[in-house]
Structure 1
Amino acid sequence: MAPSRPHALPVERPNMLHWLGGGLTALALLGLAQQAGAEETIIETHGYNFFGELGYGATYDHLNYVNPDAPKGGEIAIWTLGVFDSFNLYTRKGNAGALATIGHEDVLTTHADDPTAVYCFLCTTMEYPESIDWVIFNLRDDVTMADGRPWTASDLKFTFDMFMKDGLPSFRAAFGAFVEEVEVLDTHRVRFRFSPDSPMRDRIGLAGGMPAFSQSWIEENEYKIDEANILPIMGTGAYALDSYEIPSRIVYKRNPDYWAEDLPVSKGRNNFDSIRVEYFGDSVAAFEAFKAGAYTFRSENSSKTWATGYDFPGIANGHVKKEELPDGSLSLMQSYVFNLRRDLFDDIRVREAVGLMFNFEWSNESLFYGLYDRVTSFWGNSDLQAVGAPSAGELALLQPLVDAGQLEAAILTDEAVIPPVSSTRQVDRKNLRKASALLDEAGWVVGDDGMRRKDGKLLTIEFLDSSPAFDRITLPFVENLKRLGIDASLNRVDPAQERERQRKYDFDMTTHNGRMPLEPSTGLKQWFGSEGVDESSRNLMGVADPAVDALIEHVIAAQSKAELKTAVHALDRVLRAKKFWVPQWFKSKHTVAYYDMFEYPTPLPDYARGELDFWWYNAEKHEALKAAGALR
């Protein structure tokens, strides 16, 4: 069982297309202000934050959460599940390898202890008017690609044009709605002009999310970003692909000539000489390999394994450390989701009835060893979560949607929906009776064979999953649904089939995961908006609702933190009321195990565990482990 899905390592870029993750922050009135003509003040600054002060000034010695004296060297080896056949993440074709964009850097960057701000990285400063009609990035003149060739403003414009021509439709739609023109002013100066009707809060962060690619390299290799490719796009980053073996292994090596090695932002970071990723077909085999020393760092996503599996010799003799590290992040929105594109799930009573039959309390006690809390909100573990009845500010946003017939009037008075609470027996009879009544009311009647039908059609639901470890969680859910008269089943496929079927929206229910941002904005359209419902890999649910769309616009338009919080509360309330998910579980701590040759600074930042970023390798401990035969 792997409760904290997805079980595969993330291959998404941390900064590129940051708009997909949410609010990109904006306007920090820092830096040098000067007059442009007699009309508008131009702001020049090293960083940008719409709602508050920047956490870092223009000069600093190193990031607050790193060890600036961390030694360089060694290897960290991690694992992932599935297969890969490409290193191009910018297309939906193929299966991109884990950490496929590790070598790609963006114009702007974020810091783990200041997650709602963006800072110049490939630029020295940025300039923009108070209207944010445009932004000029003053690019660094020392940025080089992995092979040493220089990177310039022309390369940045070329990259933008390439993505606008051949990038994902969702990318083209977002950037096309924001950016009217990209203009090269000189070798290291480029201006993005923004559409007047684009959200101000997202403009600069969106433009700064462009990666550093080389026009000459792209053309020399005849690279097509809309096609799968086993050749990774060359970047400027600290790591580059060293070797791979399909389907079992990928190795990335640190670039000894990395252009940013001596910058303050790099001190104490990128400490490993190499990062190795081992692929496995199932989580059981992966854990056995870890115990045998085949890889060296493991984020444990199975509560059963965490509670009962760490009794092997490596733990007993101290070769392996087992730790719980604090995690201040928002809770994941991990859940079973309905495919709303299926006519069966048009009726909210069907969705609610199905949700009543998942017994979290029994699962947590019987399967999870009490390690988890229930996911209750899309912004759980934060003050963005809607609670109780709507506030006056929320009512002002919700009332017009009720008046327009887009929401039920109950949203104005009811408390925010929370998942049903069950007994600690697998089948909660109270919830079973309530679910049965809902299906009866919806016209799904129990026949002589105990199965429910409507207009002669059997009520059938298939769960799509690729993880054997999830069987012991989903199968009891399936059994409960069968007791309700639903022809429920679990179809476990391999990871490639799961991904392909999810891409085609070919499922009834599946497990979905993600984490909402602290300052959500345009990226919400990818998760819940009507525009991307037929192409977004994030909106697996198929949410296409005018009330949701309207509330997303309110979130995007928020001009203060108070406005943002109110709008997110209203959106969270409505999303939960739609009941297109069956929330699963989360824990507010990282459960990790690793061979005792890695070290990290304390305290860790709230929003980053950082093992691939700012942990480091102790050579003496490594030699001791090798001498003891603990590592392969």
Structure 2
Amino acid sequence: MTPSRPRSAITVARSHDRARSLAMQALLTGAATLALAAAAFAQEAGDDVITSHGYTNFGELKYGPGEVLDYVNPDAPKGGEFSTWSLGNFDSFNPYARAGVPAALADIGTERLMTGTLDDPYGTYCFLCETVEYDKDRTYATFHLRDDVTFQNGEPVTAEDVKFTHELLVEQGIPEYRTSAAQFYDSIDVIDDHTVRFNFSDYMPKNVRVQQAGGTPVFSKDWFEDTGARLDKSATEPFMTTGPYVLDSVEYNRQVVYAKDPDYWGADLPLNQGRNNFDTVRIEYFADSSAALEAFKAGEYLYREETDPADWNTAYNFRALDNGYVTREEIEDGSVGQRFSWVFNLDKEKWQDRRVREAIAMMFNFDWSNDTLYYGAYRQPASFWNNTDLAADGKPSAAEIEILQPLVDEGLLDPEILTEEAATPVDHDAETNRPSRRIIRAAAALLDDAGWETGEDGVRRKDGEPLTLTFIQFNPQYDKVITPFLSNLGQIGVQGNLERVDTAQYVQRRREGNFDLTNNVFAFGFEPSTGLKQWFGSENADDSSRNVMRLRNEAVDRLIDVVTTEVDTLDELTTATNALDRTLRRIAFDIPFQYNPFTWVAYYNTYDHPEDLPPLGVGALDFWWWDEDAAQDLRAAGAF
């Protein structure tokens, strides 16, 4: 479970977050003994106690202690500047609060006890710790901290800082995190300055205990107490943490620059080799993506992840690219495919009827939008776990039925879920945006059945109230697909409206539930866990930054429990997630828009990277590097 809220950030933040939040730096220092290398995962320290440099629920860890990551260039040169862009504005450096809009990469300095990598989807490794010790039943985990870790102000990190950070998150973190985190541990014991023990409660599922304890960020207790900073308030500077970058300069809503900490404690760690290569990281802010693209062409910043297929296919025709100063790459994305969709506000009575939601969704013609507006580049996400075995497919297996049957017997799910194919979006004709007569008739029939009658003016009404839909947006990039969709809704008597708001209003209205449809990006890893409660759990529906649709469904709650508490093998995890995915799709609380199976990047040839990139992220800020000779040549040529 991640204690921070989803936030708007630069496009490169996806790779950066995987590298630092889902897959940050990982390491155990000291020479690896032959015995440890052979064990590859754990060293038994008694019949019931395991001491290890990492943890995994499935199979073995990819890396042994002291090993360098396979996908980096350990001899990568240091220096230069990484520059990219972000959309909108910002007024805070606190990504953990709802107050304010955080700057891009506001958590660039945050490190955790343990971390993952970009090529081991199930492994997590000691980083601020040297080893983790736990019993086979995982009733506790004891972290033995490195004795050389310091905060960015030079003060040493202690076990007391670890305990303090957890307590701070429970007290001041976002509500959906606090709800669960407060129940995670029976106690957290500081054994000595470099040893901290987490005693797990029965509330926390066994399979997530070690990773959850190890995934908590570590803040300076003294700094928080001296400054009076709070996690639930906006902040004018980043929190005191341990990472390699610190805030260098800021022009609010225009630019933020981070600089390498020359005294960074982890610079020489083996698993940091070939990483954190840039001296500075600069993010330029723009009001719209078109202006940002023109700035890239002019060399005002040098790295761009493109998200608009139209721009990718038509707008990259400028001098620097033609002259070979800029490289364009289409990189296959091996991570779980994100589900970018539009979610209904289920707190509104009119959207509580699934028939109404399904009728609305049927009128979105993805096929036409994709071919006409996006050059056929996108895929429409059927699942919440696209591109993986976790996605439900076809009719449920016997193992899935075993999980779903009790929920059907109790009346929590319709019996049809046991015999029907997993729900998929409606196929449309790509030649025209207007849905076929067959689809219009089917959608109209659903609204008729739900009691929404068509008046003489063609408008659907129920109890005298028209069926209206307000779509809130802050990014004009999606106007071209939303406007035709709203036009289609008129074919079935629904009055649709697109309302443009600024970033702050967008965040506030989503929080207050002042919308009918809004964007949500569902992003998961290969090992779903307690974070599912933040996304879909009833207990967080009243005040959640992830469960934006305000889903409250007992069957979903029960299935989340199965995924997080009742699986011991990868096959069991897959089956349970299939059942959850099938159920979420059947509820139809969202309209799936798109996902991209590739990452599109363009960059000036001042940047270089290893030939073989890892499957779970591009990692531009993580392990790419600056080529000073190439930079001098491009400057001399007037490329930027």
TM-score tier by shorter-chain length is over 0.9
Distance in structure 2 (CA, Å) of the matches to 1:335 and 1:574: 17
Number of the residue aligned with 1:573? 582
Distance in structure 1 (CA, Å) of the matches to 2:161 and 2:144: 14
Distance in structure 1 (CA, Å) of the matches to 2:170 and 2:375: 49
Q: Which runs of 5+ in 1 are unaligned?
A: 20-27
Number of the residue aligned with 1:613? 622
Displacement of 1:258 in angstroms is 0.9
User: Given that residues 341 and 542 in structure 1 are in contact (C-alpha distance below 8 angstroms), is that contact kept between their aligned partners in structure 2?
Assistant: yes
Displacement of 1:13 in angstroms is 6.1
Number of the residue aligned with 2:57? 50
* 1:426 equivalenced with 2:415 (yes/no): no
Letter in 2 for 1:623: Q
Number of the residue aligned with 2:161? 155
User: Given that residues 248 and 279 in structure 1 are in contact (C-alpha distance below 8 angstroms), is that contact kept between their aligned partners in structure 2?
Assistant: yes
* 1:397 equivalenced with 2:403 (yes/no): yes
Number of the residue aligned with 1:552? 560
Alignment deviations for residues 254-304 of structure 1 (CA, whole Å, 9 cap, x no partner): 111111111111000000111101111111111111111111111000111
Letter in 2 for 1:580: F
Distance in structure 2 (CA, Å) of the matches to 1:312 and 1:403: 62
Number of the residue aligned with 2:505? 497
Choose the corresponding residue for 1:601, options 595, 610, 624. Answer: 610
Distance in structure 1 (CA, Å) of the matches to 2:231 and 2:626: 35
* 1:235 equivalenced with 2:236 (yes/no): no
* 1:444 equivalenced with 2:455 (yes/no): no
Letter in 2 for 1:450: G
Distance in structure 2 (CA, Å) of the matches to 1:144 and 1:210: 17
Number of the residue aligned with 2:34? none
Which SS does the other structure have where 1:362 is aligned? helix
Displacement of 1:353 in angstroms is 0.6
Which SS does the other structure have where 2:182 is aligned? helix
Displacement of 1:196 in angstroms is 2.7
Distance in structure 2 (CA, Å) of the matches to 1:117 and 1:505: 38
Number of the residue aligned with 1:472? 480
Displacement of 1:31 in angstroms is 2.7
User: Given that residues 175 and 544 in structure 2 are in contact (C-alpha distance below 8 angstroms), is that contact kept between their aligned partners in structure 1?
Assistant: no
Which SS does the other structure have where 1:115 is aligned? coil
Distance in structure 1 (CA, Å) of the matches to 2:507 and 2:629: 42
Alignment deviations for residues 159-181 of structure 1 (CA, whole Å, 9 cap, x no partner): 22222222223222222221111
Distance in structure 1 (CA, Å) of the matches to 2:289 and 2:346: 30
Distance in structure 2 (CA, Å) of the matches to 1:210 and 1:6: 22
Choose the corresponding residue for 2:42, options 31, 37, 45. Answer: 31
**1:178-217 map, 5 Å:** 178-217=184-223
Choose the corresponding residue for 2:525, options 517, 522, 536. Answer: 517
Distance in structure 1 (CA, Å) of the matches to 2:516 and 2:102: 25
Choose the corresponding residue for 2:81, options 72, 75, 79. Answer: 75
Distance in structure 2 (CA, Å) of the matches to 1:181 and 1:444: 54
**Identity over the aligned pairs, expressed in percent?**
46
Number of the residue aligned with 1:627? 636
Distance in structure 2 (CA, Å) of the matches to 1:29 and 1:417: 41
Number of the residue aligned with 1:22? none
Displacement of 1:6 in angstroms is 6.3
Which SS does the other structure have where 2:183 is aligned? helix
Distance in structure 2 (CA, Å) of the matches to 1:332 and 1:454: 36
Choose the corresponding residue for 1:534, options 542, 546, 551. Answer: 542
Choose the corresponding residue for 1:282, options 265, 282, 288. Answer: 288
Choose the corresponding residue for 1:582, options 586, 591, 599. Answer: 591
Distance in structure 1 (CA, Å) of the matches to 2:180 and 2:17: 17
Q: Quick one: structure 1 residues 205 and 610, their matched pair in 2 at CA, closer, same or farther if it must change by over 3 Å?
A: same
Which SS does the other structure have where 2:122 is aligned? strand
Letter in 1 for 2:157: W
Displacement of 1:32 in angstroms is 2.4
Q: Quick one: structure 1 residues 563 and 535, their matched pair in 2 at CA, closer, same or farther if it must change by over 3 Å?
A: same
Displacement of 1:378 in angstroms is 0.3
Q: Quick one: structure 1 residues 366 and 17, their matched pair in 2 at CA, closer, same or farther if it must change by over 3 Å?
A: closer
User: Given that residues 30 and 44 in structure 1 are in contact (C-alpha distance below 8 angstroms), is that contact kept between their aligned partners in structure 2?
Assistant: no
Distance in structure 2 (CA, Å) of the matches to 1:604 and 1:566: 30
Alignment deviations for residues 80-133 of structure 1 (CA, whole Å, 9 cap, x no partner): 111111111121111111100100100001111112211000011011111111
Letter in 1 for 2:43: L
Which SS does the other structure have where 2:165 is aligned? helix
User: Given that residues 40 and 64 in structure 2 are in contact (C-alpha distance below 8 angstroms), is that contact kept between their aligned partners in structure 1?
Assistant: no
Q: Quick one: structure 1 residues 589 and 13, their matched pair in 2 at CA, closer, same or farther if it must change by over 3 Å?
A: closer
TM-score by length of structure 1 reads 0.95
TM-score by length of structure 2 reads 0.93
The RMSD of aligned alpha carbons is 1.7
Letter in 2 for 1:300: E
Letter in 2 for 1:514: F
Alignment deviations for residues 64-91 of structure 1 (CA, whole Å, 9 cap, x no partner): 1100010001001111111111111121
User: Given that residues 6 and 513 in structure 1 are in contact (C-alpha distance below 8 angstroms), is that contact kept between their aligned partners in structure 2?
Assistant: no
User: Given that residues 473 and 518 in structure 2 are in contact (C-alpha distance below 8 angstroms), is that contact kept between their aligned partners in structure 1?
Assistant: yes
Alignment deviations for residues 484-516 of structure 1 (CA, whole Å, 9 cap, x no partner): 111111111122211221122211001111312
Displacement of 1:15 in angstroms is 8.7
User: Given that residues 606 and 631 in structure 2 are in contact (C-alpha distance below 8 angstroms), is that contact kept between their aligned partners in structure 1?
Assistant: yes
Distance in structure 2 (CA, Å) of the matches to 1:302 and 1:7: 16
User: Given that residues 29 and 43 in structure 1 are in contact (C-alpha distance below 8 angstroms), is that contact kept between their aligned partners in structure 2?
Assistant: no
Distance in structure 1 (CA, Å) of the matches to 2:162 and 2:423: 46
Distance in structure 2 (CA, Å) of the matches to 1:367 and 1:621: 36
Which SS does the other structure have where 1:259 is aligned? coil
Displacement of 1:338 in angstroms is 0.8
Number of the residue aligned with 1:562? 571
Letter in 1 for 2:629: E
Distance in structure 2 (CA, Å) of the matches to 1:191 and 1:29: 24
Displacement of 1:16 in angstroms is 9.0
Q: Quick one: structure 1 residues 16 and 276, their matched pair in 2 at CA, closer, same or farther if it must change by over 3 Å?
A: closer
* 1:263 equivalenced with 2:269 (yes/no): yes
Displacement of 1:369 in angstroms is 0.7
Distance in structure 1 (CA, Å) of the matches to 2:365 and 2:639: 41
Choose the corresponding residue for 2:338, options 325, 332, 350. Answer: 332
